Amino acid sequence: MRISFAAAEVAPYAKVGGLADVAGSLPQALASLGHDVTVYMPYHRSIDAQKFGIPTAGARTHSIPYGAARARIEYPEISRDGVRTVFVRSVRIGRDKVYGYDDDAKRYALFCRAVVEDLVDTPPDVVHAHDWHAALLVPLAARARQLRKAATVFTIHNLAYQGRTSAAVLKLVGLPRARLPIEDRGEANLMARAIAAADIVSTVSERYAEEILTPEFGERLEGLLRKRQADLWGITNGIDTKFFDPAQDPHIAAPYEADDQSGKAIDKAALQKETGLQRDAAAPIFGVIGRLVEQKGVDLLTAVAPWLLEKGGQLVVLGTGDPAYEQKWRDLAAKNKGRLALTLGFDGALAQRIYAGADLFLMPSRFEPCGLGQLISLRYGTIPVVRAVGGLATTVRDVDADPRGNGFSFIKYESAAFSDAIARALHRYKADGEPWRQLRTRAMHEDHSWPAAAKRYVEMYMAAAKARRAA
C-alpha cells in the first residue's frame, strides 16, 4: 500500500512528546512490512537541517490559495530507513517551536492544505492524519477529486487537545463552514471534523479506545465518538526498540541487557553523580520524565514526593510544563538537595540516562492515551509505578495481583492510593535479591516493538480502504 502520514512532530527531527515517537517509528515498521510510506511534517525552524542532510530548497514548489492571498510552499525531502520524509516549508508555517503560538490553528490548516496539494499529483491508497494539527487533511482530502479513492484514517493521540478555533480558519483553506452539532457558533473543532469525516478513526491503546466513549474521558466528544464506534480502533503503540536499547545506547555509562544487568548499577551511580544525588547504591531511584501538567498527575507527584524522600527514596525529575508546578518542584528540590534532582527542560540524552539509571518510574496520570514512558522504562528494566488508566492499564500489570506482572499500579486518583503502590514497590525493592532481578528481567524481555502493532495498522488500513470503496 502507498500510505501518506501527516504529523506536527516526528522524531528525530522535532519532538515534544509521544506523537513524535510514533510518527518517527511506525512508518519504518510499515516500510519493513513492504509498504511505501511518506511522512509529511512542517519544516520547523528548530530542525537541524545540516545534521539530517535536509536540503533547504524543495524539489517542488506550489503556490496555493490561502484566504485572499497565496502561500508559497516548498517540499524538501529525504529518505531514511526506507521512509520518505517531506518537510513542508513556508514562512507562514515554520517557527522555532512546534506549538504555542496564537495562530497555531492557521499554521496547521495551511500545513494540511499544502499536504493535499502535494498528494494530488500521486494519490496514495491511505491518507493517515495524526492529532488535531493534521485533522483538516481529512475533510480536505475528501473534497479533492484526485483523492476520492484514497482511504482516510485519523488517529487520536490525545483527545484533550482538539484544535478548537475560529471557524474563519476553515475559509482560509477553502472548506465550508457548516457547523457540527458539537461546535459553538463561530467555532471550528478541527479534531471533531476529522473524527466525523474519516473512514476509520483510531487511538493509541485498547483501553483508551473504550474510555473515550464515556463522559469522564470523552472531553465532550464522547457522543460523536459513539456514533463512530463501529469504525473506532484501538492499537497500542510500540516503541523504537533499536533507539531505546540499553545494550546499544550511546548516551549511557555502561550498556546492559536482560541476561547481564551488571551495567545498570554503573548507570545508577553515574546518574547519581551527574544529577548531584547522594552516592548510595541501595537507595531506590524513582524517575519522572514528562510534561509537568495535570494530565500526568503532577499534583499527585508533588503531594507524594516529600513522603517518598522520607522513606529513603531518591527522585530524578526531568520535564517542563505548568509554571506553577515548575515552581513547586524548584521549591521541593531546594529543600531536598542530594535526594531530589530536578531538571526543567527537554533533554533526550538525559532522559535515556534516567531510564537506564533509575530503579523505578512514576506515571500517576489522570488519563493516558498510551504513554511511552512506561514502555521505555520496561525496556530499560526500570519498574513502572502507574495509575491503571488508558494505555498504562493496557501495558502495566501489577505484580501483587499477577505473578507474571511487570510493575505496580493503583486505580483511584488520590495520593493515598499512589503512595500505597509506591510502598508496595519499595517493599519488594528492599527485599532485593532474586525476586527483584526476576521482575526486572521479565520487564526487559517484554516485546513492545512495532512489528506486531504495525500489522494491526495494516489491517486497519485495509478496513479503511474497504469503507472507502463502499462509500
Give the whole-angstrom CA distance, residue 105 versus residue 343.
Answer: 31
Rule CB under 6 A: say whether 291 interacts with ligand ADP: yes
Q: Check if the beta carbon of residue 389 is closer than 8 Å to that of residue 366.
A: yes
Rule CB under 6 A: say whether 323 interacts with ligand ADP: no
CB 458, min distance to ligand ADP, A: 22
Q: Please select the residue that binds ligand ADP; options are 263, 357, 371, 407, rule is CB under 6 A.
A: 371
Cα R_g (the chain), whole angstroms: 23
Q: Which three cell numbers stand for residue 100?
A: 504555542
Show contacts with ligand ADP in window 153-172 (CB under 6 A).
158
Burial of 244 (0-12, 13-18, 19+ CB in 10 A): buried
Q: Please select the residue that binds ligand ADP; options are 197, 288, 305, 372, rule is CB under 6 A.
A: 372
Please tell me the total number of residues recorded for the chain in this structure. 471
Q: Check if the beta carbon of residue 453 is closer than 8 Å to that of residue 29.
A: yes
CB 377, min distance to ligand ADP, A: 9
Rule CB under 6 A: say whether 348 interacts with ligand ADP: yes
Give the whole-angstrom CA distance, residue 132 versus residue 146.
Answer: 24
Could you give the 3-state DSSP secondary structure of residue 100?
coil
**With CB under 6 A, what is the number of residues at the site for ligand ADP?**
20
Over the window 373 to 412, marking each residue x when it contacts ligand ADP by CB under 6 A and - when it does not, the resulting string is: x--x------------------------------------
CA angle 81–452–10, rounded 5-degree value:
40
Closest CA to 82 of 140, 141, 139, 3: 3
- The residue at minimum Cβ distance from ligand ADP is 18
Give the whole-angstrom CA distance, residue 348 versus residue 337.
Answer: 23
Over the window 237 to 276, marking each residue x when it contacts ligand ADP by CB under 6 A and - when it does not, the resulting string is: ----------------------------------------
CB 18, min distance to ligand ADP, A: 2
CB 119, min distance to ligand ADP, A: 26
Rule CB under 6 A: say whether 21 interacts with ligand ADP: yes
CB 357, min distance to ligand ADP, A: 14
Q: Dihedral of CA 6/9/13/18: which sign?
A: negative
Q: Which residues bind ligand ADP (CB under 6 A)?
A: 17-19, 21, 158, 289-291, 318-320, 346-348, 351, 370-373, 376
